[in-house]
Chain A
């Protein structure tokens, strides 16, 4: 049986893993290569790296991180943040990532999805989308870009379908309303998108407890769930989360061989 994936997200700035803490800004929480290795050993199914490096000159550091991670962990991982061209994609994939994710840039120029899919295959192209509940849009959700700061005219469901037609192989769906709350994933929009597109949907934003993952897999119908703070600060381990999922009849990969 196909297993539900637990994916850890690492935000990387200038070569360090960082995490936004409300009212305190970002704090460095460790070396991304060491963290990736520890999560790999703990049995995580996949990793996502977001490069939030501000300056273009420092982007090369991220490529070094990707290369180091690829040499040490033998599970799939994707890299997003600052991917603005097919050449950016190529660099990240050549450094050893399986997938690249595009977000704001794809809204500005959707052809980057088709160009990337044609060159590297649909399986290599992930659409990241940030959404806000908004009753003015047909699906009830609006696409926002630039880290949630800029509203677009895109309807979330329309955009998801269009991106899949263009060649996106997976979608990371992040709810801005739920992000950072630790109150659970936004189940309604997750279910809406996950049951409307023919590619896997990875739910993001709001995870605070293992029970939230059970909810997003069952009620939200997600194929995978993204987590960050709940494991970065040691509240839960990957093992505990998977144990809880298995106990609640969610099929998850066990790591002993």
Chain B
């Protein structure tokens, strides 16, 4: 669901109802995005709350023609970076397999049917390991583009990078990931 200009104007004016809609629409996304880097859901929720409080506080900085989702993820990234600097575990970021496994346990327990597709699960594990090999910024780009599902324009706004740079960096990261997959025994047929 995309917010209309009228709704964004109401948000700009400080309407709590519209803001509530925004929180409900994006809270889950933001928590999931942050949890990729913090490996801790409680901390991710706390940071997500800080993100939305900051969104409300700085709503007047949002320009009418700006990309709302990109702007939101910019704030999320800033809050996250602030926290990571505070804790000084930037070098450990982005992902660890144990955290991912823990998260799976949390999520799988709520599902009625276990994931039977062993290959898909294996590919997901390799992808998470592959992201560990990338630079922090490249991993962030891949997560925003493919996991969160932002458009290139939104990623560009969120990362504060030119659109062309984003495209090139994503392409290079994909090549690195592909090489990593091939080292794990994957071939071109497996990607079809």
Whether chains A and B associate is: no
